[in-house]
Amino acid sequence: MAKKTIIVFSGEYDKLMAAFIIANGAAAMDDEVVLFFTFWGLNALRKPEATPSSVSATKSGLQRMFGRMMARGPERQALSKMNFVGVGQRLMKRVMRDENVMSLTELIDSAREQGVKIIACTMSMDVMGIRKEELIDDIEYAGVAAYLGEADESNVNLFI
Amino acid sequence: MSATVEELKTLQNTHVVDARGVSCPGPILAAKKQIGGVPVGNVMEILATDSGTLKDVPAWSKKMGHDYLGAFDEAGVIHLYLKKTK
């Protein structure tokens, strides 16, 4: 059994799909998979519902503004190309449904069922004003050393 | 190990995984999910319509240590066979 590590830096729907398709494939091939989420990638881990005011209250004004400007959850993330203010993203999702391609949400669920480990970078959470309460449950929190420790044991490492 | 199309067609009692209409990585996920229910030595038959499976299923079989036997296309459905070895 080998290990694969992927740094998920990007927050775009298509790039997130690429990361999760590779993660699912590797897990299906019995590999251990670690996804390290940092910066824009963290938005895919946010719960779609509005941030509770008790959580917002712990943020600075700038962090609150950041949090409101970024889309919450996988299905609201924009395409990296031809997004056209969201119209392109919806059209692509329709084609994906017609072609029986798994949605990003389904890919994330499948990856988690298969035991893919998700780590959120606490430093970028601080920078972007994202609190643990806003992210999906049962993930780990760590920094660069934890990622490097995982990458040392991995034979494929990607930055997406 | 590989078999001719005629030999593949004579295989009986295969464990059929229906991944028709499902796109990558669906067929591999389906194979992974169901291989546990296949007794060692038995043959798994994957039905697929995604032509990528012709490369993906052999690669998956090799990585998992199973014997890929071969594939054929019949009436737009790809039949892929592998023997569970462990």
pLDDT higher than threshold 80 for residue B76: yes
Q: Decide if A24 and B60 are in contact by the 8 Å CB cutoff.
A: no
Q: Smallest CA–CA separation between A108 and chain B, in Å?
A: 13
Give the pLDDT of residue A153: 96
Segment B29-48, tens digit of pLDDT: 999 999 999 999 999 999 99
Half-sphere exposure of B39 (CA within 13 A, CB side): 4
Q: Is A127 on the interface with B (CB under 8 A)?
A: no
The domain segmentation of chain A, as residue ranges, is 3-159
The domain segmentation of chain B, as residue ranges, is 5-83
Q: Is B28 on the interface with A (CB under 8 A)?
A: yes
What's the CATH fold of domain A3-159?
Hypothetical Protein Ychn; Chain: A, (3.40.1260)
Q: How large a percentage of chain B has pLDDT more than 90?
A: 84
What's the CATH fold of domain B5-83?
Translation Initiation Factor IF3 (3.30.110)
**Which of A100, A104, A112 to mutate to probe the B interface, most B CBs <10 Å?**
A100
Query: With contact defined as beta carbons under 8 Å apart, do A4 and A156 qualify?
Result: yes
